[in-house]
Amino acid sequence: MRLIGHLTEVVSVANTKEIDYEKLYDLAKIGLSEEQIAVSLGISPSTITRRKRDDDQFDRTLKAGKQAGVSAVTNALFEGATGDKPNTSAQIFFLKNRGGWRDKQEIDANLSGLMIIDHDIDAALQALKDAGVDPASL
């Protein structure tokens, strides 16, 4: 079902390039970025920004196209996760993004290896005595 079936006409705003709203909807639906949509329509990204602000029909059509694309992918993902032959990757992806699942991260805090501590205890004791500190008081 097309949400904008009645928007097949080409609409022109004063002193601006004509925009085919059906093409706008289709480009947004397939997931193109606004910059890619601008290139495809032969307009600048700033025109996209201005039209979203100044032209309610343009803004609604762009949003509807984006939402239709997200809905289609969401439905396909859900079908892949729950269908007759469930896809484990789709299930995991769905649960991580919608079910609050998180990857378990384990951190190994155990250190291994040889540690060599090379201190001259006698020299340290003598340095304390030379500084006027009685090592026995420590």
Q: Judge whether 112 lies within some domain.
A: no
pTM: 0.61
Q: Judge whether 121 lies within some domain.
A: no
By residue range, what is the domain housing residue 53? Answer: 5-98
CA distance 19 to 136: 90
Best CA proximity match to 21, nearest among 3, 1, 36: 3
Q: Judge whether 14 lies within some domain.
A: yes
Q: Judge whether 22 lies within some domain.
A: yes
Q: Judge whether 136 lies within some domain.
A: no
Question: What is the per-residue pLDDT across 48-88, written as a single tens digit (0 to 9) for each?
Answer: 999 999 999 999 999 999 999 999 999 999 999 999 998 99
Provide the number of structural domains found in the chain: 1
Question: What is the per-residue pLDDT across 19-39, written as a single tens digit (0 to 9) for each?
Answer: 999 999 999 999 999 999 999
Using an 8 Å Cβ cutoff, are 65 and 57 in contact?
no
Q: Which residues, 6 or more positions from 38, have their beta carbon under 8 angstroms from its beta carbon?
A: 44, 45, 47, 48
Q: Judge whether 67 lies within some domain.
A: yes
Best CA proximity match to 70, nearest among 49, 98, 101: 98
